[in-house]
Amino acid sequence: MANLNTKFAGLQLRNPIIVSSSGLTNSAEKNKKLFDAGAGAIVLKSLFEEQITMEAASLKNPEFAEGNDYLVEYVKGHKLAEYLQLVNESKKLCNIPIIASINCYTDSEWVDFAKQIEEAGADALEINILAVQTDRNYVYGSFEQRHIDILSHIKKVTKLPVIMKLGQNLTNPIALIDQLYANGAAGVVLFNRFYQPDINVEKMAYITGDVFSVPSDLNTPLRWIAIASSAVDKIDYAASGGVHSAKDIVKVLLAGGSAVEMCSVIYQFGPTCIKEMLTYLEGWMKAEGYDKIDKFKGKLSAKDLNGINMWERTQFLKYFTNKE
């Protein structure tokens, strides 16, 4: 029987499937079902800095300025208490790594939540720093530096493994990943998914675009994991976005990843799809003669393509050579 164990960000996983932060993971009861279905780890629904800030701001009353600070702190404390309870209850029900998640965009007191999350029993902490840079006076490199600053701040207050989940809006992910590793990151997830806006042309109004990822979304994280795992090989990688089948998991492992984060496919087909994917993965490994994931992990990364680095190709000549 093939051994599906893998190691990601210092965590021992029974298999490479991590359920990503979402409404799927916002209660201990839901997490227990995902654990029973075979998940290797679970990332809890994120604690959003922006959401808490907006909620606190909505309660402010200009006529009672002296009470506004109290309201802000109350909202923060209440949200954090709820989150710590989610961590604690999920750990009691699930005998797999439970990864807490913070979605932040400033290097502020929010990252100090990390210490309390550690005390609640989380096994690791995933940090999401997702923002669109639109300032005309933007200083090049400042967004990347923000990642490093927030990571450095968090590492001062917790001993938990810290996982950085990056967005796609980076000029050079490799340079940033190298600096994140140097500043103590244990793992990197490529890539975070932006909110997808759209326009309804009949109603002339903004609407929400497609919520779920599609299989073709995997192409981008697959490319960068293959390159990054070769260039910065001391840190672990996971793919997020577009992992819709067991074959996709195999692709990520071959490219050099250690795990995958899945969400959309579980929403669409339910937790039972996890077991089906694991069955395929085990069968594929047996058919190919691999008894451990480490024996084929990274086999098709940028480092091991006989000098022909297809992962850095950017033009379409190969596609259209025979097309008239």
Q: What is residue 66's predicted lDDT score, i.e. its pLDDT?
A: 60
Helix (H, G, I), strand (E, B) or coil at 297: coil
Q: What is the DSSP string of 157-211?
A: H--S-EEEEE-S--S-HHHHHHHHHHTT--EEEE------EEEETTTTEEEE---
Q: What is residue 209's predicted lDDT score, i.e. its pLDDT?
A: 77
Q: Which of 40, 10, 8, 12 is nearest to 159 (CA)?
A: 10
- Low-confidence stretches of the chain (pLDDT < 70) are 49-72, 105-110, 130-134, 304-324
Q: What is residue 138's predicted lDDT score, i.e. its pLDDT?
A: 73
Percentages helix, strand, coil for the chain (3-state, rounded to 5) are: 50, 15, 35
CA distance 250 to 257: 9
Do the beta carbons of residue 237 and residue 188 sit within 8 Å? yes
Query: Nearest 5°: phi and psi at 251?
Result: -60, -45
Residues 6 or more apart from 258 whose CB is under 8 A from it? 6, 7, 8, 16, 187, 236, 237, 238, 297
Q: What is the DSSP letter of 235?
A: S
Do the beta carbons of residue 249 and residue 243 sit within 8 Å? yes
Amino acid (one-letter) located at 259? A
Do the beta carbons of residue 19 and residue 266 sit within 8 Å? yes
The residue behind tokens 């098709």 is 300
Q: What is residue 103's predicted lDDT score, i.e. its pLDDT?
A: 85
Q: What is residue 306's predicted lDDT score, i.e. its pLDDT?
A: 52
Residues 6 or more apart from 150 whose CB is under 8 A from it? 104, 106, 107, 111, 127, 129
Domains and CATH numbers, the chain: 6-320 (3.20.20.70)
Say what the pTM is: 0.89
Q: What is residue 143's predicted lDDT score, i.e. its pLDDT?
A: 86
Query: Nearest 5°: phi and psi at 206?
Result: -75, 140
